[in-house]
Amino acid sequence: MSPFLDLPPLTAAEFAAIEDKVAALLHTTADVVVTQGEALLPLEAAIRGAAHPGSTALNIVTGPYGQTFGNWLRDCGAKVVDLVVPFETAVSAEQVAEALVAEPAVDFVSLVHAEAATGNTNPVAEIAAVVREHGALLMVDAVASVAAEPLLTDAWGVDLCVIGGQKAMGGPAGVSAVSVSARAWERIAANPAAPRRSYLSLLDWKERWTDAGRTALPHAPAQLEMLALGACLDRIAADGLDAVIARHRAAAAAVRAGVRALGTLAPFVPADAHAAPVATTLRAPDGLDATGLARELLQLDPSLPVQAGGGALAATMLRVNHYGAAAALGTVRATLTALATATAADAAPALTAADAAWGEAITAAH
Ligand SMILES: *Cc1c(COP(=O)(O)O)cnc(C)c1O
């Protein structure tokens, strides 16, 4: 292969077509900005665009990303109310409603849909209804839920919906996207502290690209990452979004059923309804260090999508990242087989349970 990049530059029309495909994936007619960086870029851009001194934010913390959002909101001078729930559960719409009653000034709510790091998922539809009634803007981090769970941005009333390609979409990590509702544009445009002439400025993109008719790109796009994102959107459309979502649900159900049959580890998120389809987190048995267990599993099979939990969870949590191409029964079976070996359990009942749960989940989706 030639060491030179002899591809023609990505055209404005190709860039706009990719934005339109993302909008279709998110079930939105709102503007979509395909941001030229990893998903932390649009997450930070959305928060810095909306928050300012004098604004009050309800920051829902169900995993590590919520902590990051709280720090950005405080940095913007907003008053921040953190609603923190234990990471092995989901937040409920009732809890959000209570928090809004206690703090009527809330004008911005940040929420993570599915959490890959802790393995839980939140009921966005119900929460969005409560937030909308209150009149606040809702930002949802859907990086770990897009293509693994239904994501009905407009029907639910999500104002700022942020996605990345690197999880269930099985695509590139170097570009990401955010949909921006008309309400969100109004609030951001009215915010004197919103970034301008900045890499974090959504308003710059609106002015120089979206509102200018999407005919000339303001900067050279990340061409290879954009081509990869376009290809991944086409693949999801060809497979069918529902089928991709069903594969992720089936992988989570199969890992959970298999692990319960093994009996040596337990799902970190006990309630099936709170479990994310993108990754299953497991509690290591007493006396077994999760970091050591992850290392042993990878020695048995280097292709397994396993890692120890982050930060304080490194000793007790094992993550099975069954997203993208890893949302497959073969990957689930290989993971359970290695877990059986590493924890001296019988693999056969776990594989039987996993096969049954996989089949049931796929059938239920049809
Ligand atoms: C993966 C993920 C991101 C992207 O962040 P990285 O740390 O770069 O992987 C953002 N939000 C959530 C909820 C994620 O799971």
Q: What are the boundaries of each domain within the chain?
A: 3-238, 241-365
What average pLDDT score do residues 7-18 get? 94
Residue of the CA atom closest to atom 10 of ligand 1: 143
CA of 217 relative to ligand 1 center, distance in Å: 27
What average pLDDT score do residues 149-166 get? 98
Instruction: Judge whether residue 67 has pLDDT over 80.
Output: yes
Ligand 1 in reach of 65 Cβ (< 6 A):
yes
Burial class (CB in 10 A: 0-12, 13-18, 19+), 363: exposed
- Give the torsion through C-alpha atoms of 56, 61, 67, 69, to 10 deg: -50
Are domains 3-238 and 241-365 of this chain identical in fold? no
Pairing of strands 266-267, 280-283: antiparallel
**DSSP characters over 167-220:** STT---SS-EEEEE-HHHHHHHHT-TTS--SSTT-HHHHIIIIITTTS-S-SS-
Ligand 1 in reach of 267 Cβ (< 6 A):
no
Cα 150 to Cα 169: distance, rounded to the nearest angstrom: 13
Ligand 1 in reach of 44 Cβ (< 6 A):
no
H/E element, 363: helix 347-365
Instruction: Judge whether residue 88 has pLDDT over 80.
Output: yes
Instruction: Judge whether residue 20 has pLDDT over 60.
Output: yes
Span 33-65, pLDDT tens digits: 999 999 999 999 999 999 999 999 999 999 999
User: Confidence band (pLDDT; 50, 70, 90) for 15?
Assistant: very high
Cα 79 to Cα 140: distance, rounded to the nearest angstrom: 19
Residue from 59, 143, 169, 225 to probe ligand 1 pocket by mutation (most atoms less than 8 Å from CB): 143
User: Confidence band (pLDDT; 50, 70, 90) for 6?
Assistant: confident
* Per-residue pLDDT at 4: 67
- Give the torsion through C-alpha atoms of 94, 99, 100, 105, to 10 deg: -170
Q: Pick the atom of ligand 1 nearest to 115's CA.
A: 13
CATH of domain 241-365: 3.90.1150.10
Among 91, 59, 93, 92, which residue's Cα sits nearest to residue 73? 59
- Per-residue 3-state assignment (H helix, E strand, C coil) for 240-272: CHHHHHHHHHHHHHHHHHHHHHHCCCEECCCCH
Q: How far is CA 256 from CA 187, 268, 272, in A?
A: 42, 10, 8
Ligand 1 in reach of 139 Cβ (< 6 A):
no
Ligand 1 in reach of 119 Cβ (< 6 A):
no
* Per-residue pLDDT at 8: 84
CATH 1.10.357.10 fits 3-238, yes or no: no
Q: How far is CA 43 from CA 72, 126, 130, 305, in A?
A: 10, 22, 22, 26
CA of 363 relative to ligand 1 center, distance in Å: 30
Query: Which residues on neighbouring strands pair with residue 308, listed in sequence order?
Result: 318
By three-state DSSP, how is residue 320 classified? strand
